[in-house]
């Protein structure tokens, strides 16, 4: 089963902490967004593997924009 994590607000992708193929635990930080000089961690909602990243560091994201796909077998 796949899960797509989406942006919740307008922000910049400050740092990506995972790569496709990485194993992640629930609540594991996947990336850090920056908005209004605040760092906002994006966390895995469940255990799984990173299937794809839809953004790169420095990208600007909008609410609802896909960030990362996780396989949550």
- Reported as a single tens digit per residue, the pLDDT across 4-28 is 999 999 999 999 999 999 999 999 9
Tell me what pLDDT residue 4 has: 94
Tell me what pLDDT residue 34 has: 97
Mean pLDDT of 48-62: 97
Tell me what pLDDT residue 62 has: 97
Backbone φ, ψ for residue 43 (5° rounding) = -110, 150
35: its two tokens: 């908005």
- CATH 2.40.50.100: does it fit domain 2-71? yes
CA distance 54 to 61: 10
Task: For residue 42, name the pLDDT band (cuts at 50, 70, 90).
Answer: very high
Q: Collect all residues with Cβ–Cβ distance below 8 Å to 26 and sequence separation of at least 6.
A: 44, 45, 46, 47
Which of helix, strand or coil describes residue 71?
A: strand
39: its two tokens: 């760092």
Could you tell me the pTM of the whole model?
A: 0.91
């Amino acid at each position: 089963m796949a899960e797509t994590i989406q942006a919740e607000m307008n922000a910049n992708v400050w740092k990506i902490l995972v790569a496709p193929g990485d194993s992640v635990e629930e609540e594991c930080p996947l990336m850090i967004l920056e908005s209004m000089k605040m760092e906002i961690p994006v966390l895995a909602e469940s255990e799984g593997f990173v299937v794809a990243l839809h953004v790169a560091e420095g990208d600007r994201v909008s609410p609802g924009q896909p960030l990362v796909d996780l396989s949550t077998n």
